[in-house]
Amino acid sequence: RAEVSHQPTRRRERQQIRFKSPGSAQRFLASHSAISNHFNVQRHLISRRTLKVLRSTAMADWREIVAV
């Protein structure tokens, strides 16, 4: 159990505990994962310069979406 505690399904299960119904949890987590994946870049795979470019692009996208 300890080896798989950080797997995406296990994290999702822990997040669903806070919601009253499974349906509301699924709706929230579906939209949250799309946004989270956009900002959560795997740092160990890329250089610092590339990370800064990706984060600034993600923030520009976010500002554009929120402004609508």
User: What percentage of residues in the chain have a pLDDT greater than 70?
Assistant: 76
Q: Give pairs for 53-56: CB < 8 Å, separation 24+.
A: none
How many residues can be counted in the chain?
A: 68
Q: Give the domain extent around 37.
A: 8-67
Residue with tokens 């950080």: 6
Q: Return the pLDDT at 42.
A: 77
In a domain, 2, yes or no: no
* Within a domain: 24: yes
The pLDDT tens digits of the residues spanning 5-24 come to: 566 667 666 666 777 787 87
**Domain count within the chain:** 1
* 1, part of any domain: no
Residue 36 maps to a domain:
yes
- Apex CA 49: angle with CA 48 and CA 51, to 5°? 65
What's this model's pTM, rounded to 2 decimal places?
0.50
Domain presence at residue 21: yes
